[in-house]
């Protein structure tokens, strides 16, 4: 996420959101599990220090953790994600688990504020980016002591897809496309922007937890079983 941000941006933001939601809810217990610190990030392998799991391995990890929690009586599980490469694998894990009557929610945090990102972005066109305007702002709000804005650089993803293709194309190896590990403009980031966005995200997550708590988990039925 650039030379100005810490390495664990994608872990720290959803973890802080989870802790904030858990602290805010009094009417039922919300337990935050330790974060899964390894994920699916093969397209970042050109960046020094990147460690990735294979696609099937990562899906299996999410499934095993969810099964274990479910077996211990936790029937409301949110897989709260902060890394773009994990989004589709997390959905795949949720679909796989549904066939076993295990029903986690797979949620990538920034989608809770898509409208706000589109409306509030000064430079990054409504995208969460990568070490750009919004991730840097969130880090400046949550952990300012770990952000060195003297080292911040603006960059963009040089490989351009049309919006139609970009929806379906997986990322290439990014080292060729982002020399500094940045996609966006951290130079317009601020702690105030981060606080504003974090407030929206945490409020939406708290509301989601309350709604999820009140929903009875569905039970999977084989196709045609309702006709029996």
* Domain membership flag for residue 92: yes
Structural domain includes residue 65: yes
In angstroms, the first-to-last Cα distance of the chain is 55
**In this structure, is residue 3 part of a structural domain?**
no
Q: Which residues contact 217 (CB under 8 A, 6 or more apart)?
A: 75, 76, 101, 103
Among 67, 78, 41, 40, CA closest to 56? 40
Q: DSSP secondary structure string, 188-214? A: G--HHHHHHHHHHHHHHHHHHHHHHHT
Instruction: Centre a 10 Å sphere on the Cβ of residue 86 and count the other Cβ atoms it contains.
Output: 23
Question: What's the CA gap between 208 and 69, in Å, rounded?
Answer: 19
User: pLDDT value at position 156?
Assistant: 67
Q: How far apart are the C-alpha atoms of 183 and 185, rounded to whole Å?
A: 7
* Number of folded domains that form the chain: 1
Q: Which domain holds residue 177?
A: 9-211
155 bridge partner residues: 184
Whether residue 223 lies inside any domain: the answer is no
Q: For residue 171, is it within any domain?
A: yes
43's tokens: 């397209």
The predicted pLDDT at position 169 comes to 61
Residue-level pLDDT at 161:
59
Q: What is the pLDDT of residue 165?
A: 64
| 217: in domain | no
Cα gap 53→171, rounded to integer Å = 16
CA atoms within 13 A on the CB side of 146: 17
Residue 86 within any structural domain of the chain: yes
Phi, psi of 15 (to 5 degrees): -65, -45
Spatial CA neighbour of 58 closest among 83, 78, 38, 80: 38
What is the model's pLDDT at position 42? 83
pLDDT digits (tens), the chain, 228 positions: 888 999 899 999 999 999 999 999 999 999 999 999 999 988 777 777 789 999 999 999 999 999 999 999 999 999 999 999 999 999 999 999 999 999 999 999 999 999 999 999 988 788 888 889 999 999 999 999 999 999 988 886 555 556 566 666 665 555 555 667 788 899 999 999 999 999 999 999 999 999 999 998 877 665 555 554
**CATH code for the domain in which residue 178 is found:** 3.40.50.10310
In a domain, 76, yes or no: yes
């Amino acid at each position: 996420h650039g030379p100005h941000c810490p390495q664990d941006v994608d872990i720290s933001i959803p973890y802080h959101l989870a802790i904030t939601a858990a602290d805010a809810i009094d009417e039922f217990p919300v337990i935050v599990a330790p974060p899964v610190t390894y994920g699916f990030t093969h397209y970042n392998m050109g960046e020094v220090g990147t460690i990735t799991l294979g696609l099937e391995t990562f899906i299996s990890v999410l499934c095993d953790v969810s099964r274990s929690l479910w077996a211990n009586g936790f029937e409301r599980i949110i897989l709260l994600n902060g890394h773009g490469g994990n989004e589709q694998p997390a959905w795949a894990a949720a679909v796989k688990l549904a066939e076993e009557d295990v029903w986690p929610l797979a949620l990538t945090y920034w989608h809770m504020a898509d409208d706000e990102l589109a409306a509030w972005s000064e430079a990054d066109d409504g995208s969460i980016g990568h070490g750009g305007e919004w991730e840097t702002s969130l880090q400046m709000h949550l952990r300012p002591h770990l952000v060195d804005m003297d080292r911040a650089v603006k960059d963009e993803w040089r490989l351009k897809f049309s919006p139609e293709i970009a929806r379906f194309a997986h990322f290439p190896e990014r080292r060729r496309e982002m020399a500094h590990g940045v996609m966006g403009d951290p130079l317009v980031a601020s702690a105030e922007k981060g606080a504003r966005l974090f407030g929206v995200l945490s409020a939406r997550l708290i509301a989601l937890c309350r709604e999820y708590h009140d929903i009875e988990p569905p039970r999977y039925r084989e196709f045609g079983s309702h006709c029996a």
